[in-house]
Structure 1
Amino acid sequence: MKKSELYKDIFKEASNIAMSHALTSLSQMIGGPIEMEAPDVEIVSRAEFLKLLAERGVSKGFTVMFDVTEGLSGLTILQFPKHSALNISAVLMGMEPGSMEELDEMGKSAIMEVGNILISAYTDILSNLIGEPVSLSPPKPAESLYDIEKELGRPDLRNVNSIVVFKSKFYKEDIGVESYFYLVPTPESFTKLVKKLEKQISEEVEANDEGN
């Protein structure tokens, strides 16, 4: 198995507990049972990352940025594509899914409540992976792809070329909501994260060898 696949497996293992907590909180907020898929994880290049953001629509959906202030360093981004943003805001505001055509300030505020739950889950995942607390700054709005590109021009992010992408999807009855969480770590933080993953892989290999 390739290391990239092993990394994905470890990310998914770390996400199980955090996402189960998120599922409980989302069910309470939205009202009624919901189902959530395990996050899909991939590591992409800077160019692929910008392409994904553009395809999913920064300005038409709901996108916010956070600086990583503890544990790691860099930038994180939470994105709901337009269709998902409209669906979840309609449900939270007691409206029929599909009845909203544009996202107003009240809708954005409603989505941010869901976003806070998911952000908490993702920071828990990262904390589990590195064995340290991970904290984020207050959110910064991203109104366009340019806002994100401007952040990537910061001295600490200028040479970043490895971005971790988490995709999660949850359902309430026949309504599906997709969200994307991007971790844009500084090169030093990416190295730190990879070393932690490598250590976990080595420990798992040793445990398997001892079991055999």
Structure 2
Amino acid sequence: MKIDEWFKDIFREASNIAMSHAVTSLSQMIGGPIEMEPPEVKILSRVEFLKHLLQNRISSSFVVGFDITEGLRGLAILQFPERSAINLSATLMGMDPSGVQELDDMGRSAVTEVGNILISVYTDILAKLLGEPVSLSPPKAIASLYDVERELNRPDLRNVENIMLFKTRFYEENVGFESYFYLVPDEKSFEKLVTKLEEQVRETGGGEGGV
């Protein structure tokens, strides 16, 4: 199923309002202007998903997981790679990121606040695409690849082969940050989302030539 080609434009359109809200909130937190790019969207296989987490050093990253409880079903994971998390926490606390080498409890709390904003962005984007509310459970700890593999072995996710990756970059002056949001929908939810996306492609005249 070749859907990567038209994902980017559809998600960019759906993300405009949600991203503008996020930029406003982050600018207020940091006390200065923030630039944020629309998320890059990719479809990963199960193996690619696990490899991506490893490449971004999941064990040293800031990672939280959520169950998707409304609109779709499955799992969502937000990951800030270690350096991005450190840079972000230092910036939020008015420190020079180059002088900070690890994420302490205060830093984790600061990154959590930004994570909450981004989670709201992603759920808003998905809700706009689906045309119905999307809700997530309270966060749960994800400390290692083992924790992710355990989640993937749940009965509802055991046969999942399509994971959506949203990569978001944002900047404050010369300091950059990036985050990864992984959407792991169960098979019915993935089909539901793809169907909605195909409908939007047809409505906008972008589906010539098949998918």
Instruction: Provide the C-alpha distance between the structure 1 equivalents of 2:76 and 2:3, rounded to a whole number of angstroms.
Output: 23
Name 2:117's counterpart in structure 1: 117
Name 1:12's counterpart in structure 2: 12
Letter in 2 for 1:88: L
Name 1:134's counterpart in structure 2: 134
After superposition, where does 1:21-170 map in structure 2 within 5 Å?
Answer: 21-170=21-170
Deviations 1:65-104 (A, max 9, x none): 0000110000000000011000011112222112221212
Instruction: Provide the C-alpha distance between the structure 1 equivalents of 2:90 and 2:74, rounded to a whole number of angstroms.
Output: 32
Preserved contact between residue 44 and residue 163 of structure 1 (Cα < 8 Å): yes
1:8 CA displacement: 2.4
Preserved contact between residue 12 and residue 41 of structure 1 (Cα < 8 Å): no
Preserved contact between residue 64 and residue 77 of structure 1 (Cα < 8 Å): yes
Instruction: Provide the C-alpha distance between the structure 1 equivalents of 2:42 and 2:9, rounded to a whole number of angstroms.
Output: 10
Deviations 1:191-212 (A, max 9, x none): 0001101111111129x9xxxx
Letter in 1 for 2:120: S
- The CA RMSD measured in Å over matched residues stands at 1.4
- Residues 31 and 52 of structure 1, relative CA distance in 2, 3 Å threshold: same
Letter in 1 for 2:9: D
- Structure 1 gap segments, 5+ residues each: none
The total of aligned residue pairs comes to 206
- Structure 2 gap segments, 5+ residues each: none
Greater shift in the superposed pair: 65-74 or 86-95: 86-95
Preserved contact between residue 86 and residue 98 of structure 1 (Cα < 8 Å): no
Where do 4+ consecutive residues of structure 1 move more than 2 Å? none
Instruction: Provide the C-alpha distance between the structure 1 equivalents of 2:141 and 2:99, rounded to a whole number of angstroms.
Output: 25
1:180 aligned counterpart, secondary structure? strand
Letter in 1 for 2:81: P
Greater shift in the superposed pair: 190-199 or 30-39: 30-39
Letter in 1 for 2:199: K
Greater shift in the superposed pair: 89-98 or 45-54: 89-98
Greater shift in the superposed pair: 100-109 or 123-132: 100-109
1:39 CA displacement: 1.0
> Percent of aligned pairs with the same residue?
66
1:146 CA displacement: 0.7
Deviations 1:124-155 (A, max 9, x none): 00000000000001111111111111111100
Q: Taking structure 2 as the reference length, what is the TM-score of the superposition?
A: 0.94
Instruction: Provide the C-alpha distance between the structure 1 equivalents of 2:4 and 2:60, rounded to a whole number of angstroms.
Output: 32
Greater shift in the superposed pair: 24-33 or 103-112: 103-112
Letter in 1 for 2:22: A
